[in-house]
Amino acid sequence: MVEAAKEILEGAYDLHVHSAPDVVERRLDDIGLAREARKWGMAGLVIKNHIFETASRASIARRVVEDMKIHGGIVLNYTVGGLNPHAVEACLELGGKVVWMPTIDARNHKTKTGRRGGISLLNEKGRLREPVGQILELIKKRGAVLATGHLSLVEIRALVSEAKAMGVQKIVLTHPEFWITRIPIEAQKELVRKGVFIERCYYSCTLKGQNRIAPEELAHQIREVGPAATILASDLGQKDNPPPPEGLKNMVEELLQRGLKKQALVTMLRNNPRDILD
């Protein structure tokens, strides 16, 4: 299994990974992460950060660590002004590849963690707020990836409908197995039918207690929606977890042990992420 997992990691991408600098301690910094990924033969990374854009950091990491496609993006939390088209435009101008909707500052995230407030995509009438349309226009123009972050299912449905109507090509549903963004399988399938990719992150399997997802459940959900519509990512970088590329290797081993085929894993780690980035 270990050898097979290592082979699958060659040429793999991790489109959701956390590194320093950050306001919380991270296992590796951008350069360290890129070097580690190269050691495993990986092809590319997208650095995610909840507070600021990462496209500028990625461009420096690319210069230091050659032969790695290191990219960044922006998460639309309060620190960048929330649903702020100016911040999105600048990030994409810097070469950013992914625009994530609000995560830790999403109203859904605040509610699920017992707090008030937070950013909602919808106004009092249940319609998408105005900046969302401007942001989608920028994403479309640049061919960037729209990722759903930590939104609720109601917001996600409204966002995906509008994005599809406007001609946004690349949409990723962010880790629907994670407890804060958990979405029923039937709703996941409905989004897949609209052309949305489903991202599965190993992070949920590393949690302790009732929020943890067993690898069996991860494998089950992958089978249900199908590898053709799935992207695997680590969402690692936490100081107590293994370095993200090693975590990704562990994820592959767990899924191989639960009967997923090598070709399916190659599709989810190599082909689908590559296609969505290019």
Q: Which residues bind Zn ion (CB under 5 A)?
A: 235
Q: How far is the CB of 236 from Zn ion (least distance, A)?
A: 9
Q: Which is nearer to Zn ion, 19 or 230 (CB)?
A: 19
Residue 30 or 256: which CB sits closer to Zn ion?
A: 30
Q: What is the SS3 assignment for the chain?
A: CHHHHHHHHCCCEEEEECCECCCCCECCEHHHHHHHHHHCCCCEEEECCCCCCCHHHHHHHHHHCCCCEEECEEECCHHHCCCCHHHHHHHHHCCCCEEECCCCCEHHHHHHCCCCCCECCECCCCCECHHHHHHHHHHHHHCCEEECCCCCHHHHHHHHHHHHHHCCCEEEECCCCCHHHCCCHHHHHHHHHCCCEEEEECHHHHCCHHHCCCHHHHHHHHHHHCHHHEEEECCCCECCCCCHHHHHHHHHHHHHHCCCCHHHHHHHHHHHHHHHHC
Rounded distance between C-alpha atoms, residue 181 and residue 174, angstroms: 8
For the CB of residue 130, give the shortest distance to Zn ion in the complex, in Å. 27
Which residue, 128 or 235, is less far from Zn ion as judged by CB?
A: 235
Closest CA to 14 of 42, 41, 35: 42
**Cβ 167 to Zn ion, closest distance in Å?**
27
54 vs 267 by CB, closer to Zn ion: 54
Closer of 14 and 235 to Zn ion (Cβ): 235
Distance CA 18, CA 27 (A): 9
**Based on CB atoms, which residue is closest to Zn ion, 4 or 24?**
24
Question: Nearest distance from residue 49's CB to Zn ion, in Å?
Answer: 9
- Output 155 or 235, the one with its CB closest to Zn ion: 235
Give min distance, CB of 237 to Zn ion, in A: 8
Q: How far is the CB of 133 from Zn ion (least distance, A)?
A: 26
**Least CB distance to Zn ion at residue 203 (A):** 7
Q: What residues pair up with 164 in beta bridges, in sequence order?
A: none
Which residue has the closest beta carbon to Zn ion? 235
